[in-house]
Amino acid sequence: MTTQNKKAIYDQSIYEVAEQIHAVGSHLTVMVRGHMGTGKSSILKVLAEMNPNHVIAYVDCTTLTDSADLFMVKYSEDGKTFTSVPFKDLGLHLPDQPIILMFDELGKCSRSVLLACNRIILERKHGNLTLHPDSLVFATTNLGSEGLGDLLPAHSLDRVTTVTMRKPDNIEAIEYGIDHDYDPALLGWFKETPELFYGFERYEDPEENPYIFHPNAVDRESFFTPRGGERANHILKQRALLSDSQLTSLLIGTVGYAAAMNLATFIALADKLPTLDQIKGDPMTAPIPDGPSAICMVVYRALATIEREWVDPWLTYMNRLPKEAQGLFVNGARSKLYSRRDIVSQNKQYGDWCQANNYMFSTDK
């Protein structure tokens, strides 16, 4: 096993990274490395949910060109010397309030900006200003192996604790998509195409996986990333306003040609699904889709959109689906991260199903 493979064992999910920062971020600045478009910036949102009493402070290092973008010089009170006033987004003006300070894309900093950040990163202070002791500080950057120029000098690396955030797998992406109302075509595509979420490191030849970014794929202008998948979802939501050619053109420019062509199959399937109105109106006669992929799309759509008033008709319809599809819905509904969990779990018919089929589940998700 190579050193790189050995280290990859310790790559963390976004939630695991957030827990690391929550645990040590008041004393250490964790710098999170990861593939482009995989949600590193979303760590801030996860941390905010974990620390509701902290103020959010965000610094986009890609938009700063000089240290003057972070600090301005002014006369001191006695008018005999100069002092500096920090950029508001650094949070240094809030010594009595804990903050969560994120340096996004730190590896793309200009040298001037990076030097200006160094003392905050290491000591949580600048001049005579100090962050609240409970403040959390972290940074993000892309992988150096992506060739995007994210490199820090040794003296800056020595000020941070570096961890690597892995790409989400397709199941994690589906769980995220369910909670963010992703189009069922996209969720079905994720399930049947797990290689969308593989890292380029496993391929010497970029043509082995034509869907993703690879530093050696010189003519691959567009490619799939989880961030691109989110943009594709917005496009799919508007496909009634677009011709097939317009839809395909937008998708190619968002997730790349190979991915767009593959996704088209799932779009065609999704457009033939029974409507929610059919399921709500007469769950005993609403059509059952042909094939496992289409059935999964129906289940994912229900998880993403279900409301309390139509849990009963959905569960009646669900009982007509294969047992594997029923388990897919219930496993999704039982997840602690599922935002509609209470809507489903408080339903009597759901409780009866779980009691009758408890052999399918060992522990709560």
Interval 305-349: pLDDT, tens: 999 999 999 999 999 999 999 999 999 999 888 999 999 999 999
pLDDT the model gives residue 116: 85
How confident is the model over 2-11, as a mean pLDDT? 71
Q: How far is 162 from 32, CA to CA, in rounded Å?
A: 6
pLDDT the model gives residue 255: 97
pLDDT: is 316 or 116 the higher one?
Answer: 316
Using pLDDT thresholds of 50, 70 and 90, give the confidence band for residue 363: very low
**Residue 85: is its pLDDT beyond 90?**
no
pLDDT the model gives residue 16: 96
Using pLDDT thresholds of 50, 70 and 90, give the confidence band for residue 12: very high
Rounded to the nearest 10 degrees, the angle between the axes of helix 170-179 and helix 226-237 is 40
pLDDT the model gives residue 301: 95
Average pLDDT, the chain: 90
pLDDT the model gives residue 9: 87
Complete domains list, the chain, with CATH: 3-165 (3.40.50.300), 170-360 (no CATH)
Q: What are phi and psi of 127, to 5 degrees?
A: 60, -125
pLDDT the model gives residue 317: 97
pLDDT: is 27 or 76 the higher one?
Answer: 27
Q: How far is 237 from 181, CA to CA, in rounded Å?
A: 10
pLDDT tens digit string along 191-212? 999 999 999 998 999 999 999 9
Bridge partner list, 71: 86
